[in-house]
Amino acid sequence: MTVSPVTDEAVRRPALMRNITRRDFLKVVGTGAASLWWCQFPLKHLVALEQEPESWPLGIEHFVQSVCDQCPSACGVIGRVVDGKLTKLDGNPRHPTNRGKLCPVGQAGVQLLYNPDRLRHPLEQSPKGSGQWRAVSWDDAINAIVGHLRGLRSRGSPESHAILTGEREGDFDAMMKRFMRSFGSPNYFMSLSARAARTANFLMQGTYTLPSYDFERANLILSFGAPLLENWHSPMQSQRAYGYLRQARRGPRARLIQVEPRFSMTSAKADQWVPIRPGTEAALALGIAYVLIKEHLYDEDFVKHHTFGFDDWQSADGSKHRGFMGFVLEHYRPERVADITGLSVLEIVTLAKELARATPVLAVGGGVTSLYSNATITEMAIDSLNALLGSIEIPGGVIHQRKVEFAPLPEVRPDAIALGGLEKTLRSSGGESVLTLSSNNPETLLESLLSGDPYRITSLWIIDENPVFSGVFGNKWREALKRIPLVVAFSTFMTETAELADFVLPHPTFMERGELINAPAVSSVPVIGLMQPIVKPLYETRHVAQVVLDIAHRVDKTLADDFPWNTVEDFQGGCLEQVFRERRGTMFTDSFEEEHIKLLEERGYWSPTHASPQAFQDDFKKNGGWWDPHYPMQRWGSVFKTKSHQFEFFPQAMADGMEHAHGRMITSGHASNLAKDLLLKRIGLAGEDGEIYLPHYESMKVSGDQASYPFFLMLYQPLTLTALHSANLPWLQEYLVAHLPMRWGSWVEVNPETARQLHLRNQQLVWVESPHGRVKLELRTYAGSMPGVVSCILGQGHTSLGRWARGCGENPLQLVGEHLDSLAGSPALLSTRVKLYQA
Amino acid sequence: MAHWGMVIDLDKCSGCQACVVACKSENNIPFTSPQEADVGRTISWMEMVQIIEGEYPEVRARFIPRPCMHCKKAPCTRVCPVGATYQNEEGIIAQIYARCIGCRYCTNACPYTVKYFNWRPPEWPEELRSCLNPDVSVRPKGVVEKCTFCHHRLQRAREQARFEKRALQEKDYQPACAQSCPTSAIYFGDLDDPKSTVSRLRKDGRAFTLLEELGTEPRVTYLAEEKIYGRAVV
């Protein structure tokens, strides 16, 4: 089907209404497939109806373009609306992220919109946790919230208000930040994915985002457990690239090598699968680095001009430091790496030589490797391969997206109360905080919610996020939420977290609200998509941004002055004005125009297409979004935002952070050497040969010893369960995974030989037990399971959410201990050993 | 008259099941409860078939999206006692629900198991009925249903072309699965047109059809994976 012109007004009558012949009619009935179709036009022409129903469906159809919100990658969608009802979501061919394609999760959006379990009006629970809900009006709910916030401001403790939100970038994020700044609280937290990969990128390249990869032009992709064909950070981007690399690109065929302990979809579709012992990926990366350095196969030019800490060096105070080269050559001989990883020396050397031969190549992490307790240093080791091979800022390498950060004018003017509150960040005032480099970390919030240290949080908003269910700290969150006087959950469903709130405010789905979405940095070029209501809101829902705006207007005059916008659209206008002033990029275009604009921009041309911000805004709405297809490579001055403005093998930010934390501990009364030991213990690094800053391998923390718990538990989230409410969408439950014929539930995947040795059969119920708990699951033999590793899907086992999610499968997080990757501050989901026995 | 056919490039396919869900959404296929799913009553006009072979570490996996093959010599049409399933002039194997008596001869005759019997009346919670596609009828209990190559889209495209007073072009008509495929692994077009992409790809060295030896002459062709190194398939 070709997509008709996609404007709001593109209303056309169904083809059959225009003229119909007897032949057509018979054909329709004859084929059967469309026999309902003829019900749409007045039947009196064919069959005499006694009385025509009043609201006979007219079959009037129109298409609305918008942006999907099932995951943060923000693909473009087109909704087909017939008689005011959304019947299908398809990809938007003009949206650069997905170019007309759409993953199953996006398509299941219609089941999100029309889900019978959605929240329909605001609810109040009293007492909290009792399960006694009472419908309240929006006014009452907002009055209660405003009253509480006013109290905080008048008592001079605005910092006691906190917000926790799911991952999303755009005008919503900008508004929340602005609100918190104006209100005077530093406690705005976002649950980000792959925090270890972000932290590693921050340490070595200076940006706390995921790196972008130019997959399309790479010759070899060495993926360290990156779920490129599953729930990658931008699944449509990586899947489209995969399709392109497979058959569409001219020239030599690109290869994909997947290093992963599990035979995942990506492993299965890769050219080569390298099954590696879990948690030893860093050793492999450094073993490869060893071969590259030893045989002079690395990009010496890049290393010389754009990296720091490769050779031995001396710091300003005269102390000597060992370089990456010397360190790797001393410690990562392939023989040793082979012992650690379980691979053969030949495999390691072959991988290194292939990488060197195939440039441009990409080493990609950010998936499995971000979930171990040694995640950050592992991601650093993977990143160093890109630097060694010169795969940074070249076509087919790592690139750094130039985003537009929304911060509409006028600037916020926090008053004295707000300024006082903003200074009191949880970490700066915390006495003995852990060295954590990530900027906003939900676990930091949780810690102080429980301890009440350095101060109590008395108001918490949780927006589209479900920490009670989705993290290893579920029980702690449960405990913490009970202690907070006012918890407000903005949610589309009654989630496990919302059940513990005082107020639950129904949030519209992405098909009913308007938002500007800034595609995440992982998509290589900046894309700003317009989410707009495809259908009228079904229930009494309100967009969080509008609620926050209303609250801001009512708390007090300072806040009201900082929010001179009446509606969210006005605020978005301010954001778009910023984009207008960027003087680059273009509205969404088709592929042909894209090439044209790229050519122009490469040569330094840009035509000012719009006379005023208003004209820009109108055009933006018409086209559904803005993007900048041109990426200028190798503007070295602005690429690396590290201290040395180079790629840092030796991350100075980390060394400085440690120095700082050490200093603070000494001031608070620790002896210097003891403080250092304590600090190292806290960040969980032992270092290799005293070297903690360079990328190195350290064994990860694991619950359970090998003798009692012989299997390592790999948890994975299939693409279908990526979205927050996936589990309550029947289509996704029906097609959970493709590698096993499994639907509606969860199971444990075991190597057939292992199962035989344990005298367990396929499809038998077994207990999976770790030191932290046990769950009963169906055993599934799977040839792709490594001996010694069992796998289980993540995202099932809801106790709430809705009729389809509740009680479907088990939540394996109850097996997982509370290990952290302390550098990134993120929970280590892959840190458990289990045993299996008959149930 | 065109003869419609499909080519699925398994080298590009990532097994994401976008096609499966697109088909469910487009064709008003009811979802089943977990209990019914357990006894194999899930209806998937398009299904992802997995073939896992070998033993660790020499494991091989193939993922094959499987719509109706729309065979030129279709076994299902020959056994239908009432002429409910037949091959139309454009090579699409159609199913007339009103004529089907539910004998399930065709479901047994089809070697690809693409025909599904409705054991229950289709049911949706009231809210979810809103997203039904008005172009496609809902099948009652007791009849057999199957992939139609989104035939309603062809009718629509034909109407549109007639309205615009032009001939139907190949690009006017595309089934939902092909439209959604993230890796563009599904090609669809006119097999009679020697210049069409599908005609060209059917002559590719990698082309094969499922159960070729049965002589059903499917109109859905697959292109095999092209793994060069490593633990390769094919």
Residue A66 corresponds to which amino acid? Answer: S
The residue assigned the tokens 């990809």 is A91
Q: Considering CB atoms only, which of B9, B131, B137 is closest to A110?
A: B131
The yes-or-no verdict on residue A712 having pLDDT over 60 is yes
B:19-38 residues touching chain A, CB 8 A cutoff: 20-22, 24-26, 31-32, 34, 37
Closest approach of A757 to chain B, Cα-based (Å): 15
CB contact under 8 A, A243 and B18: no
Q: Considering CB atoms only, which of A86, A243, A787 is closest to B183?
A: A243
B:94-133 residues touching chain A, CB 8 A cutoff: 94-99, 125-133
pLDDT tier for residue A388 given thresholds of 50, 70 and 90: very high
Closest approach of B56 to chain A, Cα-based (Å): 6
pLDDT in the model for residue A2? 43
The whole-angstrom separation of Cα A64 and Cα A75 is: 14
Closest approach of A557 to chain B, Cα-based (Å): 43
Task: Tell me how long chain B is.
Answer: 234
pLDDT tier for residue A288 given thresholds of 50, 70 and 90: very high
Taking contacts as CB-CB distances below 8 angstroms, the residues of chain A near B206 are none
Of A68-77, A468-477, A660-669, give the lowest mean pLDDT range: A660-669
Would the CA dihedral through B21, B27, B33, B37 be positive or negative? negative
B:160-189 residues touching chain A, CB 8 A cutoff: 160, 163, 171-174, 176, 179-185
pLDDT in the model for residue A39? 45
pLDDT per residue as tens digits for the range A456-467: 999 999 999 999
Average of per-residue pLDDT values in chain A:
87
Cis amide prior to B57 (ω within 30 degrees):
yes
Closest CA to B69 of B224, B211, B223: B211
pLDDT per residue as tens digits for the range A123-138: 999 888 888 999 999 9
pLDDT tier for residue A349 given thresholds of 50, 70 and 90: very high
The whole-angstrom separation of Cα B15 and Cα A738 is: 6
Q: Nearest chain B residue to A99 by CA: give it.
A: B182
B137 contacts chain A (CB < 8 A): yes
Buried b (16+ CB within 10 A) or exposed e, A186-204: bbbbbbbbbbbbbbbbbbb
Q: Nearest chain A residue to B128 by CA: give it.
A: A114
- Which 3 state secondary structure label does DSSP give A234? coil
Buried b (16+ CB within 10 A) or exposed e, A300-339: eebbeebbbbbeeeeeeeeeebbbbbebbeebbbbebbbe
A460 contacts chain B (CB < 8 A): no
CB contact under 8 A, A239 and B42: no
Q: Is A333 left (phi over 0), alpha (psi -120 to 50) or beta?
A: beta
CB contact under 8 A, B137 and A37: yes
A:189-248 residues touching chain B, CB 8 A cutoff: 229-230, 235-236, 239-240, 242-243, 246-248
CB contact under 8 A, B157 and A732: no
CB contact under 8 A, B94 and A111: no
Closest approach of A744 to chain B, Cα-based (Å): 6
CB contact under 8 A, A87 and B96: no
pLDDT per residue as tens digits for the range A491-501: 999 999 999 99
Q: Nearest chain A residue to B60 by CA: give it.
A: A268
Closest approach of B158 to chain A, Cα-based (Å): 9
pLDDT tier for residue B227 given thresholds of 50, 70 and 90: low
A334-359: average pLDDT: 94
The whole-angstrom separation of Cα A238 and Cα A135 is: 44
R_g (Cα) of chain B, nearest Å: 18
CB contact under 8 A, A103 and B15: no
Token pair listed for A125: 């629970």
Q: Considering CB atoms only, which of A32, A89, A101 is closest to B95?
A: A32
Predicted model pTM: 0.89
pLDDT in the model for residue B57? 87
A514 contacts chain B (CB < 8 A): no
B143 contacts chain A (CB < 8 A): no
Token pair listed for A569: 């659209």
Cis amide prior to A227 (ω within 30 degrees):
no
CB contact under 8 A, B57 and A744: no
CB contact under 8 A, B135 and A111: no
Q: What percent of chain A has pLDDT over 70?
A: 92
Q: Is A798 left (phi over 0), alpha (psi -120 to 50) or beta?
A: beta
Q: Nearest chain A residue to B186 by CA: give it.
A: A243
Q: Nearest chain A residue to B173 by CA: give it.
A: A1
CB contact under 8 A, A738 and B229: no
Check residues A823 and A268 and name the one with the higher pLDDT: A268
Q: Considering CB atoms only, which of B134, B153, B179 is closest to A57?
A: B134
pLDDT per residue as tens digits for the range B145-196: 999 999 999 999 999 999 999 999 888 999 999 999 999 999 999 999 999 9
CB contact under 8 A, B50 and A784: no
Task: Give kind and range of the element (H or E) at residue A327.
Answer: helix A324-331
pLDDT per residue as tens digits for the range A770-814: 999 999 999 999 999 999 999 999 999 999 999 999 999 999 999
Taking contacts as CB-CB distances below 8 angstroms, the residues of chain A near B130 are 85-86, 114
Size of interface A-B (CB pairs under 8 A): 264
A19 contacts chain B (CB < 8 A): no
Check residues A682 and A541 and name the one with the higher pLDDT: A541
DSSP per-residue codes, A458-506: -EEEEES--HHHHSTTHHHHHHHHHH-SEEEEEESS--TTGGG-SEEEE
Taking contacts as CB-CB distances below 8 angstroms, the residues of chain B near A38 are none
Interface test with B, best of A25, A75, A87 (most B CBs within 10 A): A87
The whole-angstrom separation of Cα A550 and Cα B24 is: 41
Of A431-440, A607-616, B201-210, give the lowest mean pLDDT range: A431-440
A10 contacts chain B (CB < 8 A): no
Closest CA to A227 of A357, A396, A73, A394: A73
A275 contacts chain B (CB < 8 A): yes
For A42, residues 6+ apart whose C-beta sits below 8 A from its C-beta are: A52, A56
The whole-angstrom separation of Cα A826 and Cα A684 is: 12
Token pair listed for A147: 């009253």
SS3 breakdown of chain B: % helix, strand, coil, rounded to 5? 25, 20, 55
Whether the CB-CB separation of A790 and A262 falls below 8 Å is answered with no
CB contact under 8 A, A104 and B228: no
Whether the CB-CB separation of A104 and B21 falls below 8 Å is answered with yes
CB contact under 8 A, B57 and A739: no
Look at strands A789-793 and A747-750 and give their pairing. antiparallel
Q: Residue A504 pairs with which residues in a beta bridge?
A: A123, A489
pLDDT tier for residue A44 given thresholds of 50, 70 and 90: very low
B90 contacts chain A (CB < 8 A): no
pLDDT in the model for residue A502? 95
DSSP per-residue codes, A501-552: -SEEEE---TTS--EEEE--TTSSS-EEEEE--SS--SSS---HHHHHHHHH
pLDDT in the model for residue A200? 92
Interface test with A, best of B1, B7, B14 (most A CBs within 10 A): B14
Taking contacts as CB-CB distances below 8 angstroms, the residues of chain B near A18 are 159, 163
B14 contacts chain A (CB < 8 A): yes
The whole-angstrom separation of Cα A698 and Cα B98 is: 67
- Which 3 state secondary structure label does DSSP give A810? coil
For A595, residues 6+ apart whose C-beta sits below 8 A from its C-beta are: none
Closest CA to A806 of B34, B37, B120, B123: B34
**Torsion angle, alpha carbons of A508, A509, A515, A517, to 10:** 150
The yes-or-no verdict on residue B232 having pLDDT over 80 is no
